[in-house]
Amino acid sequence: MADVRKFTTIEEMEADTKALVQRACDVCAETWQDRAEMQKNHCKFGETGVCCRNCSMGPCRITPKAPRGICGADEHAIAARNYLRSISAGTSSHSDHAREILHVLHSAKRDGAYQIRDEQKLIRLAVEWDVALRTADGAERDIYDIGREVAEKGLEEFGKAFGEMRFPSRAIQERQDLWHKEDIWPRAIDREVVTAMHMTHMGNSADPEALIRQGLRTSIANGWGGSMLGTEITDILFGTPTVWTTEGNLGVLEHDMVNLVVHGHDPVFSEALVMAAESKEMVDYCKSKGIKGINVVGLCCTANEIAMRHGVRMAGNFLQQENAILTGAVEMMCVDIQCIFPALAQLSKCFHTKFVTSSPIARIPGSDYVEFKPENAMENATQLVRAAIDNYENRNPERVWIPATKQTATVGYPTEQIIRHLDNITNSNVDELGSYKPAVEAIKAGVLRGAVAIVGCNNPRVRPDYSHYEIIKELLKNDILVVATGCAAQLATKAGLLNKEARYQCGDGLKRVCELMDIPPVLHMGACVDISRMMLLANGIARDWGVKLTEIPVVGCAPEWMSEKAVSIANYVVSTGLDVYLGIEPQVSGSTQMMEWITEGTRKLTGGGFIISTDPHVLVKNIIDGIEAKREALGI
Ligand code: NFS
Ligand code: SF4
């Protein structure tokens, strides 16, 4: 008989949250649940995108009685400008993160804190970018010299004076031609963001089409630029992820160990902390205090990064960040950039938790600020780990409550790993090594109906994690493979859907594919910057199939998105020719023209568009219908 595992239900997760929030009341602390209540009845102008404060004649708000701002901008211009600014902010976040990592590669040394771990990947990139592998006299170049030159070329992508960006030429010819024809091939990352800010300044573009087009171009600068750089260079520095079995949810915190939570996005900081915590010096120091050990766990996308490279356990996703501190069992929370609640500073003061910020990009009042630089990485990290150990004695056992809930998860499926698993099932057919052809064959045969990339955040506008959960479960039943990143991947972890046993929840076709490939039905592809991996996956499937990207039964879905990064991501997925199903409405609904642009207009331009429903059951039905329609159009 099939061994059907027990998943962790949303209700069980909610029971833990409820108990933790109750503890916040006990110590007079406030949580996002309280603040969401206080913010209820959001401003309708902001919510629908028709408030403009781009100059000090305003703010101007559009109503039937006041249909234009003082300068004459209408609701379409205002909503489109606000939307483009969101895309730009999202593109900036992923890309600036990538820039930092490029600088780390540039400064990497054989005997330094950061080394080159994946030389093969570096060499492949060097070849792609015409970086010489040999010196003029034919000798092999030092891999660190190659690394430096690749880093310089990568940094040029941000601000080159002439020409266009490199990575979009990784896309299949049809996409490249389209990006050129529509004039949305980005020139340089910083340039597209600056152009977007310029276009939206008072007295410039008021034409939604022009603003949408710049939005697409800016988003490609992210997905086929900043994010792709972030992923590639992180792999080169820290190793391309491989499969690990790990655990997820707050039950990974330990009663008798020092709990150090790393939260944010940039793996440079968290990698150093993991290394420091594993060092003999710190392990011994911990023992000398009579403590069992140091337990480093991750939150949000940092968790995804280090889980895929070290098997480090994951404490949870975005709306659980306060819960971690509310357990009373966290000695230190170290954060770097993005998705960090400023509220953590106050909340941690209600417990013994030290809250440490580390980046000039994310300064938070009330935190301990220890600026983190690659030059002093290990020194800083060791000091922080020591301080966490020292703080253990301040833990008040009476204030500790760690929920028992956790699940095992198999993580770490970048494209390279997926290909490896596909190779396993092609047996002797050498021609098919290194290709997605077996996956294409499975889709053509209908064993697999298609694939959905489930990505994005949590958002208090909807029941946290519920939409992710309902949508994923339904897709699996319908033989649709799920690839996941970000906080969506964390939900899958907490639920138990990243366990290989979850195949028993799938339709017969998907179950068989999981058995043949020895994979879970939800593949963890990493952090949100790694959605660039998903673009390469879709691109590879279209290439090996010999069809257009718009034709394959592969789509994106962000059921609970909230950040501007997500707006940029959704746009680059659409630019890549794939439909995106959204569970939260973009804030442009005050403009009929903008609603038309994001759902239908972009489809005419790029072949992809948004399908929106705040009801997860409706949304998943739309996804399945969309996938079946693509199959029908292909005649399969
Ligand atoms: Ni993505 Fe990651 Fe989570 Fe959303 Fe934030 S952690 S980069 S933005 S909230 S998925
Ligand atoms: Fe008002 Fe125009 Fe200024 Fe915006 S740019 S605040 S619509 S006057």
**pLDDT tens digits, 317-341:** 999 999 999 999 999 999 999 999 9
- State mean pLDDT over 398-408: 95
Has residue 226 been placed in a domain?
A: yes
Mutate to test the pocket of ligand 1, among 261, 563, 569, 584 (most ligand atoms within 8 A of CB): 563
DSSP readout, 126-190? HHHTT--SB-TTSPBPPHHHHHHHHHHHHHHHHH-SSS--SGGGGS-HHHHHHHHHTT---S-HH
- Pure H helices in 352-495: 377-391, 415-426, 437-445, 466-477, 486-495
Enclosing domain of residue 558? 412-634
Residue 466 domain flag: yes
Residue 620: exposure state from Cβ atoms within 10 A (0-12, 13-18, ≥19): buried
Residue in 524, 523, 521, 525 with CA at minimum distance from that of residue 533: 525
252 and 230 in a common domain: no
> Is there a domain that residue 38 lies in?
no
pLDDT score of 426 more than 90: no
Q: Which ligand is nearest to the CA of 60?
A: 2
Question: Is the shortest distance between the CB of 601 and ligand 1 below 6 Å?
Answer: no
Of the residues 342, 376, 399, which one is the last residue of a structural domain?
399
- Whole-angstrom Cα distance, residue 481 to residue 242? 19
359 pLDDT more than 60: yes
Mean pLDDT, range 426-431, rounded to an integer: 49
> Distance from the CA of 609 to the center of ligand 1, in angstroms?
22
Q: Is the pLDDT of residue 139 over 90?
A: yes
> Going by C-beta distance under 8 Å and a sequence separation of 6 or more, which residues neighbour residue 151?
102, 103, 105, 106, 233
Question: Does any ligand 2 atom lie closer than 6 A to the CB of residue 82?
Answer: no
From atom 9 of ligand 1, which residue's Cα is the shortest distance away? 457
Output the pLDDT for position 164. Answer: 98
Which atom in ligand 1 lies closest to the alpha carbon of residue 485? 10
Q: Which amino acid is at 33?
A: Q
Q: What pLDDT is stored for residue 427 in this prediction? A: 53
**CATH assignment at residue 486:** 3.40.50.2030
Say if ligand 2 is within 6 A of residue 62 CB.
no
171 and 116 fall within a common domain: yes
In a domain, 387, yes or no: yes
- Token digits for 86? 């969101």
Q: How many domains does the chain fold into?
A: 3
57 lines ligand 2 (CB under 6 A): yes
The SS3 assignment for 58 reads coil
Per-residue pLDDT at 430 exceeds 80 = no
The answer on 341 and 249 residing in a single domain is yes
Place of tokens 């309902």: 470
β-sheet bridge partners, residue 526: 485
Our mutation pick for probing the ligand 2 site, out of 62, 71, 211, counting the most ligand atoms within 8 A of Cβ, is: 71
pLDDT of residue 499: 92
Task: Please indicate whether residue 71, judged by its CB atom, sits closer than 6 Å to ligand 2.
Answer: yes
Q: Is the pTM for the entire model greater than 0.85? A: yes
Q: What value does the mean pLDDT take over residues 257-277? A: 96
**440 and 327 together in one domain:** no
Confidence of residue 420 (pLDDT cuts 50, 70, 90): confident
* Confidence class for position 295, pLDDT limits 50, 70, 90: very high
Could you tell me if 484 and 389 lie in one domain?
Answer: no
Residues 508, 583 within the same domain = yes
Going by their DSSP bridges, the two strands 244-248 and 258-263 should be labelled as: unpaired
Q: Residues 215, 339: one domain?
A: no
Q: Which of 50, 78, 205, 211 to mutate to test the pocket of ligand 2 (most atoms within 8 A of CB)?
A: 78
Residue type, 307: A
Is the domain of 110 the same as that of 207? yes
Evaluate whether residue 599 is within a structural domain.
Answer: yes
Lowest mean pLDDT among 79-83, 162-166, 373-377, 454-458: 373-377
Structural domain ending residue among the three candidates 238, 260, 291: 238
Residue 6, pLDDT score: 79
Three-class SS state of 483: strand
The confidence score (pLDDT) of residue 5 equals 63
User: If you average pLDDT over residues 354-372, what whole number do you get?
Assistant: 97
Residue 124 has pLDDT above 80, yes or no: yes
The reply to whether 203 and 178 lie within a common domain is: yes
Band (pLDDT 50/70/90 cuts) for residue 291 is very high
Q: Is 43 in the pocket of ligand 2 (CB under 6 A)?
A: no
pLDDT surpasses 60 at 432: no
Q: Whose CA is nearest to atom 4 of ligand 1?
A: 457
Q: Which atom of ligand 2 is nearest to the CA of 77?
A: 7
Residue 363 lies in a domain: yes
Residue 6 lies in a domain: no
The predicted-structure confidence for 22-75, as pLDDT tens digits, reads as follows: 999 888 899 999 999 999 999 999 999 999 999 999 999 999 999 999 999 999
**Section 237-263 average pLDDT:** 97
Among 51, 53, 56, 57, which is best to mutate for testing ligand 2, by the most ligand atoms less than 8 A from CB? 57
The verdict on the CB of residue 204 being under 6 Å from ligand 2 is: no
User: From the CA of 89, how far away is ligand 1's center (Å)?
Assistant: 14
Provide the 8-state DSSP code for 529. G
Task: Judge whether 29 lies within some domain.
Answer: no
Q: Is the pLDDT of residue 221 over 80?
A: yes
Query: Quick check: 1 pLDDT over 60?
Result: no
Closest CA to 264 of 196, 117, 362: 362
Structure tokens at 318: 């975005």
- Give me the torsion for CA of 143, 147, 153, 159, rounded to 10°: -170
Name the residue among 278, 321, 323 with its Cα closest to residue 298: 321
pLDDT-derived band at 435 (thresholds 50, 70, 90) equals confident
Last residue of a domain, one of 189, 212, 238: 238
Nearest to 61 by CA among 52, 70, 48: 52
Q: Is the dihedral of CA 316, 317, 320, 322 positive or negative?
A: positive
Model confidence at 425: pLDDT above 80? no
Is the minimum distance from the CB of 54 to ligand 2 under 6 angstroms?
Answer: yes
254 and 376 belong to one structural domain = yes
Q: 224 and 257 share a domain?
A: no
Q: Could you give the C-alpha distances from 110 to 115, 147, 304, 379, in angstroms and in order?
A: 6, 11, 26, 17
Q: Are residues 441 and 549 in the same domain?
A: yes
Per-residue pLDDT tens digits for 571-609:
999 999 999 999 999 999 999 999 999 999 999 999 999
Nearest CA to ligand 2 atom 7: 69
